[in-house]
Chain A
Amino acid sequence: MISFRHITKICLLSALLFLGFSTVNTVSAQDGKALFTTNCASCHQVHKPSTGPALAGVEDRWPNKANLYSWIRNSAAFLKTGDKYANDLYNTWNKTAMNQFPNLTDEEIGAIITYINSVPAPGAAAAAGGVADPNAAAAAESDNTLLFGILTLILAVVALILLQVNANLKKLADEREGHSPIEPVPFWRNKSYIAMITVILFVVGGYLTSKGAMALGRSKDYQPEQPIYYSHKVHAGINQINCQYCHTGVYQGKQATIPSVNVCMNCHMSINEYNGEKMYTEDGDEINGTAEIQKLYKYAGFEPGKPWDPSKAKPIEWVRIHNLPDHVYFNHSQHVKAGKVECQTCHGEIQKMGEVKQFTDLSMGWCINCHRETQVQFKDNGFYSIYEKYHQDLKSGKMDSTKGVTVEAIGGTECQKCHY
């Protein structure tokens, strides 16, 4: 009996021990990834230097495992031991101190290293995605217009031939019936032809002249080539960066402000290659995103792998697209902060533009039209609190709150609002 009890005891104990061990052993590569992300990934990448060195092959670089582990747990203390490799490393990385991770167990560090070894080098895992060629789509579109043109031409030729046939048949019929055929007047001396052509020329010419004259000083659809192919589609669209991240001034002043190079470098210190979908210029040429980032580095005076000195940066001379004449005053904050107008109202779907294009003609008619139609955003808006009468009328129902108060009603179409 006793021996039986003894056996069960041993069995239970060994089962417990086994369980304990197996939980320890489950710190596998999977957890290694999670551990790497929470602890290391802020400063280290596997195959590229970041704030700290690339970690691929870290085990082979260090003279022995114990040193590496104690360095990870407390780098400052380990430096004081005077270890040559550690001190050299510290100096090559501009004496950037590594955070301390005293709570990582041997198994956990092991799992991280297992994970690091399991990550393939980027060259090996290059997989080209099947991106549809937008050129083909563009070609198909232009093909359509060409088709319509050819069709119109064929129809016109057919109509002309039919007219000719009709005239000939009439001539034949007249001859048979014995009428002496009237000698036809050639069309360049036919008065009704001349009158018709004059009228058509006058109308078409007048339309083109006035349209051309109105277009003077306006540049709708203007889409200049910029010094760097900067895609709003990639930044504001795909990566969801808020417009105001870069155009800080839009809430504070007249200008939306073009970001200085340091704002680009906030992200591009880390992002030095482009792996997204293919980009094309409006003319259909393919763009190498990584090369465009290199252009930015040239302006910034930044060499990857070295600390960046922002004082070496030179401004990028972007080509200005939206221009108002000198005699018009326009303020961004008035529209965006007080008026709560979306960027897209005036700039179009900027988050879908590879190259920025002037969306509206920025004409006075366009401004005035919007001022007539747009409701003032009175609700929770301190800027318009002085319009007490309107507030009370809206509250008491004297004024239809669904129609609201237009910008025009508070003086938005007065000349001196914009011209002074």
Chain B
Amino acid sequence: MKKLLIIALAATATTIVACSDVKRTPGTIYMPDMAYSRAYESYADYSNLTEKGIHYTAMPVEGTLPRGAELPFHIAKDVPGDTTNYFASRAVPNPIDSMTEAETIEAERLYQINCGICHGTKLDGNGPLWKDGNGPYTAAPKNLIADPLVSVMPDGQMFYSLTYGKNLMGSYASQLNRKQRWMVIKYIKIKQKEAKATAATTTAAK
């Protein structure tokens, strides 16, 4: 009797100690036929569709455009070690001539989300990932206002870098569509112009 009691006590103690409040399993489903989709949802496993006789492609037909989309950028990515296309892209003009106030706000939002993290909220090349060299990022992001190269870089060449990436910067084609990329570039150009104007007035005042 005493032995049994000891065993029971030891068992309870181990269960209590071993119990963790981290929930690693999702739990049980009630009426699974209503919970799981019969149709293929996003992030479902597409790999075995053809085996089931379903022919489906998630990519739009090549050469088609959604309504209202910007026309494609016809300059291809350079092969490594070549810069021909990078310089050829200078000739491509920005299809966006001017932006309304709402569009500027949207462009600023896109800039702050996608670019500000490295190039700084004030475009000064000092975003939270760089932090004067104290952040985790190891390469200094370009100062979009003061850098002698970027401040005079044509829109098309910036579009090339945004689309294909440049040095350690990756391609942003999957995060921003063509129109959004042109809008961000326009926003940077507006900011560069403003900075130049204020610089001119301060030197004139002196």
Question: A223 on the interface (CB 8 Å rule)?
Answer: yes
Inter-chain contact total with CB atoms closer than 8 Å: 131
Per a CB cutoff under 8 Å, which of B20, B83, B149, B174 touches A260? B174
Interface residues of B in 126-168 (CB under 8 A from A): 128-129, 132-133, 135-143, 149, 167-168
Complex Cα distance, B3 from A302, in Å, reads: 60
Q: Could you tell me if B29 and A216 are in contact, using CB atoms closer than 8 angstroms?
A: yes
Q: Could you tell me if B23 and A271 are in contact, using CB atoms closer than 8 angstroms?
A: no
- The bracket for how many chain A residues form the interface is 35 or more
Contacts of A288 in B (CB 8 A): none
Question: B27 on the interface (CB 8 Å rule)?
Answer: yes
Q: Could you tell me if B168 and A222 are in contact, using CB atoms closer than 8 angstroms?
A: no
Contacts of B80 in A (CB 8 A): 94-96, 307
Least CB distance, B92 to chain A, in whole angstroms? 21
Q: Could you tell me if B128 and A239 are in contact, using CB atoms closer than 8 angstroms?
A: yes
Interface residues of B in 1-59 (CB under 8 A from A): 20, 22-31, 34-39, 42-43
Interface residues as binary, B168-206 with A (CB distance below 8 Å gives 1, 0 otherwise): 111110110000000000000000000000000000000
Q: Could you tell me if A271 and B138 are in contact, using CB atoms closer than 8 angstroms?
A: yes
- In this complex, which of A42, A222, A269 has the most chain B Cβ atoms within 10 angstroms of its Cβ? A42
Known contacts: A219-B26, A282-B22. The answer to whether A48 contacts B138 by CB under 8 A is yes
Chain B: interface secondary structure? loop
Chain A: interface secondary structure? loop
Contacts of A213 in B (CB 8 A): 30
Q: Could you tell me if B43 and A270 are in contact, using CB atoms closer than 8 angstroms?
A: no
Complex Cα distance, B22 from A283, in Å, reads: 7
Q: Could you tell me if B175 and A245 are in contact, using CB atoms closer than 8 angstroms?
A: yes
Complex Cα distance, B78 from A95, in Å, reads: 12
Interface residues as binary, A37-50 with B (CB distance below 8 Å gives 1, 0 otherwise): 11001110100101
Contacts of B174 in A (CB 8 A): 248, 260, 262-263
Question: B94 on the interface (CB 8 Å rule)?
Answer: no
Q: Could you tell me if B136 and A240 are in contact, using CB atoms closer than 8 angstroms?
A: no
Question: A1 on the interface (CB 8 Å rule)?
Answer: no
Interface residues of A in 254-296 (CB under 8 A from B): 254-255, 258, 260, 262-263, 265-267, 269-271, 274-276, 282-283
Least CB distance, B106 to chain A, in whole angstroms? 10
Interface residue stretch chosen among A125-133, A194-202, A323-331, A385-393: A323-331
Least CB distance, A360 to chain B, in whole angstroms? 14
Per a CB cutoff under 8 Å, which of B28, B132, B149 touches A216? B28
Question: A105 on the interface (CB 8 Å rule)?
Answer: no
Question: B98 on the interface (CB 8 Å rule)?
Answer: no
Least CB distance, B157 to chain A, in whole angstroms? 14
Contacts of B136 in A (CB 8 A): 239, 271, 274-276
Q: Could you tell me if B23 and A245 are in contact, using CB atoms closer than 8 angstroms?
A: no
Q: Could you tell me if B167 and A42 are in contact, using CB atoms closer than 8 angstroms?
A: yes
Question: B113 on the interface (CB 8 Å rule)?
Answer: yes
Complex Cα distance, B110 from A74, in Å, reads: 36
Name which residue of chain B comes closest to A266, CB basis: B170
How many chain B residues have a CB neighbour from A under 8 Å? 50
Per a CB cutoff under 8 Å, which of A215, A270, A326, A327 touches B138? A270
Name which residue of chain A comes closest to B86, CB basis: A97
Name which residue of chain B comes closest to A51, CB basis: B167
Least CB distance, B6 to chain A, in whole angstroms? 17
Complex Cα distance, B143 from A302, in Å, reads: 28
Question: A6 on the interface (CB 8 Å rule)?
Answer: no
Question: B112 on the interface (CB 8 Å rule)?
Answer: yes
Contacts of A96 in B (CB 8 A): 80-81, 167
Q: Could you tell me if B168 and A245 are in contact, using CB atoms closer than 8 angstroms?
A: no
Per a CB cutoff under 8 Å, which of A50, A215, A216 touches B168? A50
Known contacts: A48-B138, A216-B29, A222-B27. The answer to whether A263 contacts B175 by CB under 8 A is yes
Known contacts: A51-B167, A245-B113, A245-B117. The answer to whether A42 contacts B140 by CB under 8 A is yes
Least CB distance, B12 to chain A, in whole angstroms? 11
Name which residue of chain A comes closest to B28, CB basis: A216
Contacts of B97 in A (CB 8 A): none
Q: Could you tell me if B22 and A223 are in contact, using CB atoms closer than 8 angstroms?
A: yes
Complex Cα distance, B145 from A38, in Å, reads: 13
Complex Cα distance, B143 from A42, in Å, reads: 10
Contacts of A221 in B (CB 8 A): 23
Contacts of A43 in B (CB 8 A): 139, 167-168
Contacts of B35 in A (CB 8 A): 217, 323, 325-326
Complex Cα distance, B138 from A45, in Å, reads: 7
Q: Could you tell me if A258 and B43 are in contact, using CB atoms closer than 8 angstroms?
A: yes
Known contacts: A50-B138, A262-B170, A267-B137. The answer to whether A223 contacts B24 by CB under 8 A is yes
Interface residues of A in 196-229 (CB under 8 A from B): 213, 215-219, 221-225
Complex Cα distance, B23 from A270, in Å, reads: 35
Q: Could you tell me if A283 and B133 are in contact, using CB atoms closer than 8 angstroms?
A: no
Q: Could you tell me if A41 and B171 are in contact, using CB atoms closer than 8 angstroms?
A: no
Contacts of A223 in B (CB 8 A): 22-24
Q: Could you tell me if B28 and A51 are in contact, using CB atoms closer than 8 angstroms?
A: no
Name which residue of chain A comes closest to B132, CB basis: A37
Please name the 3 residue pairs, one residue from A and one from B, whose CB atoms are nearest each other, closest first: A95-B81, A41-B140, A216-B30
B residues lining the A interface (CB < 8 Å): 20, 22-31, 34-39, 42-43, 80-83, 112-114, 116-117, 128-129, 132-133, 135-143, 149, 167-172, 174-175
| Extra 12 A-B pairs, beta carbons < 8 Å, given A42-B141, A95-B80, A221-B23 | A37-B140, A42-B167, A50-B138, A216-B27, A217-B30, A242-B112, A269-B170, A270-B137, A275-B136, A307-B80, A325-B35, A327-B34
| 8 pairs, CB–CB < 8 Å, chain A vs chain B | A41-B133, A43-B139, A99-B149, A245-B175, A266-B169, A271-B136, A274-B136, A327-B34
